[in-house]
Each structure stands twice: as structure tokens, then as C-alpha cells.
């Protein structure tokens, strides 16, 4: 297999090192990742400035762009042939519920899916220091191996969240749906030493609705959460209601 590995925490992050090392058991691994942290970059693509690529060592490329840029560069420029699999991660922090809409980790897998390549996003559900990236990498290897033995349904990629636990304490995989969180956003405004105001977008500690069957519920119980995602954002349940609206002639 030819495997492309990327992330949004940057090429020096411990998660991508553990992931690339583990996936070597499945085939040839090429790493194409941002040259610095690009968390919460979402599904953004650099269109109005050139990209630069730095080969740090054989098979390891740093790109001064977003995770989506990295997948494009890997597939269309840096690899001789398209990869058989794209794995994004291991993100430092869970990508659960609504957070996937911001996630550069998930967006990289989404981009691969757009190009018809099987893809997995992997996250370790902790925001503090952790020694469990190698444990999460073992889980990622298991999921990737299972994916190679089975064909993903069309228009599907996998969002995997691993609890912050030693490998022998992690509970089995649960297939989950995307959860929902209660988000309280806030803007912090300060004044710099020159008297100019600046603003910092932040939020309070997120809280999730602990509904059974969701990604958050599974990880909270110590299980690996595997959520199948797809790109069709149409709300089909709303289409019939909208048909009754009287829009009138344009």
C-alpha cells in the first residue's frame, strides 16, 4: 500500500510521528503536513499565494499551507501515484460533535474523500499533555487494516476518536453518530503596549450532550468512536417543508 499521512498540528507534532511509524506495518508511508500548527483551519485551500514545500528527510515533506493543501500537494505533486489510503492525525484533542466543522484534521480526510481515496481522521481525546499517542496509533493501525480488508461505502470517510488511555485499557470500537455540544463563544479584547486594541476568539470549556450512540458518549465511556461521515450536507428532512414556501417569481 501507498499511504499518505497528514495532520493539522504540524509536521513536528508527536501524533503524526507515532501515526506514521505505526502505519509502516501496512505499506509505504509518505508524510505531507503543515510546517506549523494549523488547527481549526477547516476545509480551507490556499488560492491567492504560492505554496512552498520543504523535504525534511526522505518521505517527509513540510508545506507552508493548510491540511487541505497538503493532501492536494501529496496527491497531485509529491507522490508518483495516488495513495491507496490517506490518514490524518493523530490530532491532539478530540474531534467530536460539531467540532468537526472546524477541524483541519477532519478536513484533510474530507479532501481525500472528494478525490475518491479512502480516508481516516484520527484524534486523541485530550487537550492536556499525553503519553498515549503510540496507543492511539495502534488503534489507527487496526482501523486502517480493517479498512483495507473491506470497501468503504461510497461518499464515506471515517472520523476516529480514541480515549486518552493506555492501549490495554481502551474499550472496543463503537460505531457512532456525530454528537452535539453546547458552545459558549466569547471574544477577548485587550490593549497592546502601543495602545491599540486586539481581539482573541475563544470559548469556554465545551460541554457535550451525553446522548447514547454519539461519539462523545462512546469516548466518555472509554471506547474508540468510529463515525462514518460524508460530504452531502443537504437536510433532506427540510426539503418537503421548503417546497410549501411561497417564494414567488424572481
pLDDT tens-digit readout, 133-164? 999 999 999 999 999 999 899 899 999 999 99
Give the pTM: 0.92
Domain contains 147: yes
Could you tell me the pLDDT band of residue 203, with boundaries at 50, 70 and 90? low
More confident residue, 184 or 40: 40
Question: Does the pLDDT of residue 166 top 90, yes or no?
Answer: yes
Q: Rounded distance, CA 108 to CA 124, Å?
A: 16
Q: Rounded distance, CA 163 to CA 125, Å?
A: 5
Domain contains 205: no
Range of the domain at 108: 2-182+210-243
pLDDT tens-digit readout, 62-111? 999 999 999 999 999 999 999 999 999 999 999 999 999 999 999 999 99
pLDDT of residue 184: 65
Domain contains 196: no
Q: Rounded distance, CA 220 to CA 213, Å?
A: 11
pLDDT of residue 188: 84
Domain contains 199: no
CB atoms within 10 A of CB 152: 14
Could you tell me the pLDDT band of residue 249, with boundaries at 50, 70 and 90? confident
Average pLDDT, the chain: 93
Average pLDDT over residues 152-179: 96
Question: Does the pLDDT of residue 231 top 70, yes or no?
Answer: yes
Could you tell me the pLDDT band of residue 205, with boundaries at 50, 70 and 90? low
pLDDT tens-digit readout, 3-44? 999 999 999 999 999 999 999 999 999 999 999 999 989 999
Domain contains 116: yes
Question: Does the pLDDT of residue 170 top 90, yes or no?
Answer: yes
Domain contains 195: no
Average pLDDT over residues 51-68: 97
pLDDT of residue 193: 94
Domain contains 47: yes
Domain contains 249: no
Contact by Cβ (8 Å): 218, 224: yes
Question: Does the pLDDT of residue 185 top 70, yes or no?
Answer: no
CATH of the domain at 231: 3.40.1210.10
pLDDT of residue 246: 84
Q: Report cis status (omega within 30 of 0) of the bond before 226.
A: no
Could you tell me the pLDDT band of residue 186, with boundaries at 50, 70 and 90? confident
Concatenated DSSP letters of the chain: -EEEEE-SS-TT-HHHHHHHHHHTTTSEEEEEEESS--TT--S----SS---EEEEETTEEEESS-HHHHHHHIIIIISSS--SEEEEEEEES---GGGGGT-HHHHHHHHHHHTT--EEEEEEE-SS--S-HHHHHHHHHHHHHHHHHSPPPTT-EEEEEEESS-GGGPEEEEE-B---EE--EEEEEEE-TTS-EEEEEEEPPPEE---TTBHHHHHHTTEEEEEEE-S----HHHHHHHHTS-----
Domains: count for the chain = 1
Amino acid at each position: 500500500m501507498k499511504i499518505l499521512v497528514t495532520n493539522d498540528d504540524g509536521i513536528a507534532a508527536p501524533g503524526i510521528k507515532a501515526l506514521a511509524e505505526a502505519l509502516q506495518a501496512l505499506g509505504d508511508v509518505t508524510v505531507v503536513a503543515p510546517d506549523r500548527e494549523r488547527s481549526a483551519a477547516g476545509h480551507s485551500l490556499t488560492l491567492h499565494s504560492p505554496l512552498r514545500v520543504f523535504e525534511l528527510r526522505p518521505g517527509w515533506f513540510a508545506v507552508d499551507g493548510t491540511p487541505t493543501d497538503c493532501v492536494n500537494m501529496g496527491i497531485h505533486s509529491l507522490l508518483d501515484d495516488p495513495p491507496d489510503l490517506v490518514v490524518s492525525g493523530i490530532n491532539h484533542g478530540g474531534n467530536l460533535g460539531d467540532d468537526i466543522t472546524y477541524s483541519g484534521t477532519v478536513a484533510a480526510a474530507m479532501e481525500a474523500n472528494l478525490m475518491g481515496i479512502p480516508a481516516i481522521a484520527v484524534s486523541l481525546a485530550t487537550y492536556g499533555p499525553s503519553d498515549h499517542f503510540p496507543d492511539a496509533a495502534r488503534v489507527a493501525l487496526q482501523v486502517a487494516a480493517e479498512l483495507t480488508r473491506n470497501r468503504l461505502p461510497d461518499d464515506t470517510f471515517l472520523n476516529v476518536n480514541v480515549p486518552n488511555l493506555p492501549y490495554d485499557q481502551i474499550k472496543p470500537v463503537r460505531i457512532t453518530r456525530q454528537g452535539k455540544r453546547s458552545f459558549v463563544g466569547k471574544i477577548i479584547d485587550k490593549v497592546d503596549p502601543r495602545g491599540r486594541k486586539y481581539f482573541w476568539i475563544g470559548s469556554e470549556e465545551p460541554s457535550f450532550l451525553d446522548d447514547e450512540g454519539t461519539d462523545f458518549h462512546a469516548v466518555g465511556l472509554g471506547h474508540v468512536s468510529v463515525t462514518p461521515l460524508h460530504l452531502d450536507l443537504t437536510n433532506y428532512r427540510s426539503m418537503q417543508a421548503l417546497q410549501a414556501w411561497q417564494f414567488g417569481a424572481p
